[in-house]
Amino acid sequence: MPDGTQPPTGRVVGDVIMKVENVSLSFGGVRALDNVSFDVREHEILAIIGPNGAGKSSMLNCINGFYHPQEGAITYKGKRRDTAKTFEAAEEGIARTFQNIALFKGMSTLDNIMTGRGLKMKKNLLWQALYYGPALKEELEHRAKAEEVIDFLEIEAIRKTPVGRLPYGLQKRVELGRALAAEPDLLLLDEPMAGMNHEEKEDMVRYILDVNDEFGTTIVLIEHDMSVVMDISDRVVVLDYGKKLADGTPDEVKRNQDVIDAYLGVSHD
């Protein structure tokens, strides 16, 4: 793990890859997101933090097409994303993990990771229904890719285990594996370290940094563990009650009075 607040070395943060502009999202009378804007730059690790119910997951869900914001625009690689469908997000190279793990529990680790390769398969659906000839050849190529992911995440031993039987920490890792198998440009991680013990967290941090480093994947993550957030992110966006409080490097955010108030509370006297 890199020490202090220095961003990990060897990484060049590039141009803006995604723009979130004045996004608002309401559920009935509840305003989950209120006029939120920020940029995501290529190759960076951006953390979204904030108290519970601040709208962090809603933000990810808007980016990835589960929710469609009523106002504002999300532009990804120059294209409007805020009205796009979820599977289109996947087609455009956005992969994600979920706060409450959403794996295919009855399927093996390998099968779960292979679903992540689905979009990379060139043959059309009719071919994909066969287990023969070119379809079989392609399947084996993708299988090799999936094995790379499995090696990378060091989950060789559980390749054939149905993920429903795995301990929580490993399930989180498999979910990351499924997202990585799609070779995404933008990886959305919703609390990747929640509920993990210290060692598992360290492992996860290492994987996230490696992914960012080796594949140049842009990462947007939501995390509650402040020491992790401050260590690994290039920039931090702080949300509170659906509004953006602050946006900047970890150091700037730490010193921001609004952020301190939101986290520690303000005395009303």
Instruction: Return residues touching other proteins (CB under 8 A).
Output: 64, 66, 85-87, 89-91, 95-96, 98, 102-107, 111-112, 114-119, 121, 125, 128-131, 135, 139, 142, 162, 164-165, 168, 178-179, 182
Contact 20, 72 (CB under 8 A): yes
Taking the complex as a whole, how short is the minimal distance between the CB of residue 41 and other proteins, in angstroms? 23
Q: Which is nearer to other proteins, 6 or 132 (CB)?
A: 132
| Residue closest to 191 by CA, chosen among 167, 172, 210 | 172
Surface-to-core class of residue 174, CB atoms within 10 Å of its CB (0-12 exposed, 13-18 middle, 19+ buried):
buried
The CB-of-168 to other proteins minimum distance in angstroms stands at: 7
Q: Side chain identity at 65, as an amino acid letter?
A: G
**Nearest distance, CB of residue 27 and other proteins, angstroms:** 15
3-class DSSP assignment, residue 67: coil
Given a contact cutoff of 8 angstroms between Cβ atoms, the answer to whether 2 and 8 are in contact is yes
Cα 98 from Cα 111, distance rounded (Å)? 18
* Nearest residue (CB) to other proteins, 8 versus 169: 169
Q: Minimal distance in Å, beta carbon 186 to other proteins?
A: 13
- Contact by Cβ (8 Å): 253, 245: no
Q: Closest approach of Cβ 98 to other proteins, in Å?
A: 7
Give the type of residue at 103.
L
Q: Residue 97 or 212: which CB sits closer to other proteins? A: 97
Smallest gap from Cβ 8 to other proteins, in A, equals 27
Strand-pair category, 45-49 with 218-222: parallel
Looking at the Cβ atoms of 12 and 129, the one nearer to other proteins is 129
- Specify the residue, 189 or 262, whose C-beta has the smaller distance to other proteins: 189
Rg (CA), the chain: 19
For residues 161 and 256, which CB has a smaller minimum distance to other proteins in the complex? 161
Q: What are the distances in angstroms from CA 23 to CA 20, 59, 68?
A: 7, 9, 10
